[in-house]
Every structure is written in C-alpha cells, then in structure tokens.
Homo-oligomer: A and B are copies of this chain.
Amino acid sequence: MEENTMKNWRAYRNYGVYLVTDRELCLGRPLDEVVLAAVRGGAGAVQLREKHADSREFLALARALVSRLQPMGIPLIVNDRADIALAAGAAGLHVGQSDLPPEDARRLMGENAIIGLSVETREELLAAEKLDIDYVGISPVFATPTKTDTLAPWGLDGLRWAREHSPLTLVAIGGIHRENAAAVLEAGAHSLAVVSEICSADSPEEAARGLKALFR
C-alpha cells in the first residue's frame, strides 16, 4: 500500500509492450523468470492475471513481482482484485466489464493508481470517456484462444475507429504477435498487450524485444 500511495503511477506513459501473465502458458518456467526476461527485452508494464489461484497465493505472486518490477520503474497492474493490488502495493488495477466498476476501483485504489478497463464494444469505449481511468484495453483485436468469453474482435478497422473516436490511451490485446503487431500500431494502438506471444516464446526476452522494436 505504501508504494501505491507514495508514487504517482498515473504519470507513467511507457506502457509500450504490455505483458499480461498466464502461468499456464509459461511452458513450466517460473512466472518471475518469464516476467523479468520480458522486461529486459523492453516490456514496459506487466499485468498479473490469475483466474485460479487462491487469494493467498495471488497476493504472494503480486508481492514478488512488485518487489522486482516497481523499483525498476515498471508498474505491476493486478487483474480484477483491488484487495490484492492494495495489499501488494501494486501500481494499478485492470478491470473488465464484469469486475469491480471503475468508479469503485478508483475509490479503493486511490488517486495515484493506474486503472485500466477492457472494452469489447464501441459503446463501452465511448462510455469509458466519462470514467476516471488511465487506459482502455481494446479487447480482443483479433480472435484468440487465450480468452474465449469475449465478443467479436475489433479488427484493425475497429481499432482505427477507436483511435478516431476516443481520446483514451488504447492498449490493444488479443491475438497480437510479431507479424501483425506493426499493423496494430499503425491502426492506432498506443500499446501492444500480449500473453502467449511472450509467455510461450522460446525466449520471452527476444519476443519482447521484437515487439518493442516496432515502437518509434
């Protein structure tokens, strides 16, 4: 909680390559090893997403990543659980449309925390403008096997529409890999969020570096 209240993470502007974790996709490697390799390769933000861990394990994972990442200036953003984020002193919280409402997330996390919100439709994107959040996750840009509970993909055209119609920072997620990433940036994404492209890469560091090189 101390980290969180002391530092204004909302001034952070270097999401760039944004790693979203999935331990099951890490090919048996420890999560912190994969995360630190990604950061060496240039990842600028890390979201800890745990859908099956119990609260105690989730907190232990969050604390371990906060202690490694945040002294380097890299924000650890916790998925869904504001209590875990607060207890771990994480820089931010990412919520989906079925998670804590963004207003409650902001109230709990405080004025200095990064709050991100997934938007799956144009209506959700436009509605997000009124919220006190720091970025939207445009989800999914492409169809992906990682998340199966999402609506129709935005596609590059949808992303272009989003950039034209919203002033918010756009973090594109879903099916992004080395080959299509340049097109995603060209279509208007400010940041590239990836799961398997880094977690399941032979070299998470090189995978991150490859994506990072696409940013000017």
Contact = CB atoms under 8 A, between A and B. Distances in A.
Contacts of A99: 54-56
A80 interface: yes
A122 interface: no
Contacts of A87: 82, 100, 104, 107-108
A104 to B, nearest CB: 4
Interface residues of A, number: 22
23 contacts: A1-B107, A1-B108, A55-B81, A55-B95, A55-B98, A55-B99, A55-B100, A56-B97, A56-B98, A56-B100, A56-B101, A57-B98, A59-B100, A59-B101, A59-B104, A81-B81, A81-B83, A82-B83, A82-B87, A83-B86, A87-B104, A87-B107, A87-B108
A100 B55 CA distance: 6
Interface of A: 1, 54-57, 59, 80-84, 86-87, 95, 97-101, 104, 107-108
Chain A at the B interface: SS class: helix
Tally of this chain's copies: 2
Nearest to A63: B104
- Smallest CB-CB A-B distances: 5 pairs: A82-B83, A83-B83, A54-B98, A87-B104, A55-B99
Nearest to A57: B98
